[in-house]
Amino acid sequence: MGCSLQLLGIVCLVIFYFHKSPALKKHEKNYPGITMIKCCVNAYDNEEENFDVFFRQDYPGPRQLIFTVPNESAPVVPVIQSYLKKYPDADAQMLVSTTRKALWRKVDAIHDGMQCAKHPIVLLSDSDSVVNEDYFSQNVACLEDADTSLVTIPQYDFRMNSFGSALKLGNTCDLATFVMISWAFSKSPGFGWGHSMAFWKDDFDSFGEHTWSYLNDFLADDIAIPKLFTMHGLKVRFANIHCPVQYSDKTVNDVIQQKRRWAWCQKIALPNKWLYLLATMVYPQVPATLALLFSGFSSWSWVLWFSCAGVRILVSVVHELLFQKSLKTNLKYFWTILLWDLGQAYFVLETFLSDTIDFDGKRYRVVNRYFLERVPQ
Q: What is the pLDDT of residues 128-181, one digit of tens each?
A: 999 999 999 999 999 998 789 999 999 999 899 999 999 999 988 888 888 999
Instruction: Check: CB of residue 37 under 8 Å from CB of residue 117.
Output: yes
Q: What is the pLDDT of residues 354-374, one digit of tens each?
A: 888 887 778 888 888 889 888
Question: Could you count the other beta carbons within 10 Å of the beta carbon of residue 205?
Answer: 12
Show the CA angle centred on residue 325, arms to residues 321 and 331, nearest 5°.
Answer: 60
What does DSSP say about strands 121-126 and 34-39: parallel, antiparallel, or unpaired? parallel
Q: What is the pLDDT of residues 257-296, one digit of tens each?
A: 888 888 888 888 787 888 888 888 889 999 999 999 999 9
The residues near 305 (Cβ < 8 Å, ≥ 6 apart) are 285, 288, 289, 291, 292
pLDDT of residue 302: 97
pLDDT of residue 25: 87
Please give the Cα distance from 214 to 315 (Å, whole number): 37
Q: What is the pLDDT of residues 54-112, one digit of tens each?
A: 999 999 999 999 999 999 999 999 999 999 999 999 999 999 999 999 988 999 999 99
Percent of the chain residues topping a pLDDT of 90: 70
pLDDT of residue 361: 76
Q: What integer best gives the mean pLDDT of the chain?
A: 92
SS (HEC) of the chain = CHHHHHHHHHHHHHHHHHCCCCCCCCCCCCCCCEEEEEECCCCCCCHHHHCHHHHHCCCCCCEEEEEEECCCCCCCHHHHHHHHHHCCCCCEEEEECCCCCCCCHHHHHHHHHHHHCCCCEEEEEECCECCCCCHHHHHHHHHCCCCCCEEECCCCEECCCCHHHHCCHHHHHHHHHHHHHHHHHCCCCCCCCCCEEEEEHHHHHCCCCHHHHHHHCECCHHHHHHHHHHHCCCCEEECCCCCCEECCCCCHHHHHHHHHHHHHHHHHHCCCHHHHHHHHHHCCHHHHHHHHHHCCCCHHHHHHHHHHHHHHHHHHHHHHHHHCCCCHHHHHHCCHHHHHHHHHHHHHHHHHHCCEEEECCEEEEEECCCEEEECCC
Please give the Cα distance from 198 to 142 (Å, whole number): 9
The residues near 335 (Cβ < 8 Å, ≥ 6 apart) are none
